[in-house]
Amino acid sequence: MTSARPLYTVPLPDHGTLRLGDRCLVMGILNVTPDSFADSEPLLDPANAVAAALRMEADGADLIDIGGESTRPGADPVSADEELRRVLPVLRALRGRVGIPLSIDTYKADVARAAIEAGAVIVNDVSGLQRDPALAVDVARTGAALVLMHSRGSSKTMYAEASYDDVLTDVIGELRESIITAVDAGVRSEQILIDPGVGFAKRASHSYGVLARLPELAAALDRPMLVGPSRKSFLREALGDRPAVERDWGTAAAVTAAVLAGAHIVRVHAVAEMAQVVRVTEEIRRAGLRA
């Protein structure tokens, strides 16, 4: 399963660009929440979060995604004010200290707007504009890149909505609707990346099915593809009931599959380890394309 990866140039604020496709990029996950499902210890102290971000960059991260609200299944929502209280000190402290783009993981327009002002150049919306379509207006105004992820419902209800006729056909159709919503709000198509939402509003069989058919998704939507399988619960189907922090070997397998299928970005917790996985898989992918 070795697929060609189209090249894209994604515009960023202040005339910057993100070139995607030469190789798969590694996005490090920086959760500044007290209830992250996948971190061994919370990073609520901004100083600790900044240190973790700097380690990620040193370990090979190409981007860092900062989140102030857990979106794991069953998580309680937090207010925009609380989310900003968590993420803004970290964004402000990292601005100018890291040489890689910063992303804000939020579905709230107020949070996205303030985060972009504080230095984020990518907005990663796990709701695909379902929760707060006004977010697209701020993305259009600022020129930030926008990741549209497929999901359904909220953290509390997503599994109840995990019913599909054909999971990939439905994911493609619903992501296409999210893209239309963004473009209608003024977002340029070049600013948009897509994420199939592995583990979100999907049973384990759905997530594995999506991973197996990523080239179809990429071909149907013609946008750069971000894939985030890291430590998610669907891995328990194969690994057994083990805690999230012990799922990195399973994550490595899913990351390998995503890279071979043409993913432009993989979003991971264990940056140093997964950066090695990506590098080796890239060599295999290149060899397959030459064969």
CA gap 221, 57 in Å, rounded: 30
Q: What is the pLDDT of residues 185-204, one digit of tens each?
A: 999 999 999 999 999 999 99
pLDDT band at 125 (very low <50, low <70, confident <90, very high): very high
In a domain, 104, yes or no: yes
Mean pLDDT for 223-238 is: 97
**Is the sign of the CA dihedral 30, 36, 38, 42 positive or negative?**
positive
204 vs 1, higher pLDDT: 204
**93 within domain boundaries:** yes
Q: Are residues 114 and 84 in contact, defined by beta-carbon separation less than 8 angstroms?
A: yes
Residue 161 DSSP class:
G
pLDDT digits over 263-279, tens only? 999 999 999 999 999 99
Mean pLDDT of 8-23: 95
Q: Are 15 and 214 in contact (CB under 8 A)?
A: no
pLDDT band at 112 (very low <50, low <70, confident <90, very high): very high
Domain with 63 in it: what CATH number?
Answer: 3.20.20.20
* Residue 189: CB atoms within 10 Å: 10
> Percent of the chain scored above 70 by pLDDT?
96
Q: Which two tokens stand for residue 203?
A: 């049973």
* 220, burial (CB in 10 Å: exposed 0-12, middle 13-18, buried 19+): middle
The mean pLDDT of 108-117, rounded to a whole number, is 97
Going by C-beta distance under 8 Å and a sequence separation of 6 or more, which residues neighbour residue 137?
A: 109, 185, 186
Total domain count for the chain?
Answer: 1
Calculate the average pLDDT of the chain. Answer: 93
**Phi and psi at residue 65, to the nearest 5°:** -110, 115
In which band, very low, low, confident or very high, does the pLDDT at 41 lie, cut at 50, 70 and 90?
low
User: pLDDT confidence of 20, banded at 50, 70, 90?
Assistant: very high
Which positions are annotated as active-site residues? Answer: 232, 267
For residues 45 and 36, the model is more confident at 45
187 in Cβ contact with 140 (< 8 Å): yes
Across the range 67-73, mean pLDDT stands at 85
> Does 155 map to a domain?
yes
Residue at 3 is within a domain: no
**d(C-alpha 103, C-alpha 180), whole Å:** 22
CA–CA separation, 254 and 38 (whole Å):
16
Q: Is 1 a domain residue?
A: no
Classify residue 2: in a domain, yes or no.
no
- Residue 286 lies in domain: 8-290
Query: In this predicted structure, what is the pLDDT of residue 45?
Result: 85
Tell me, what's the pLDDT at 42? Answer: 58
- Average pLDDT over every residue of 203-227: 97
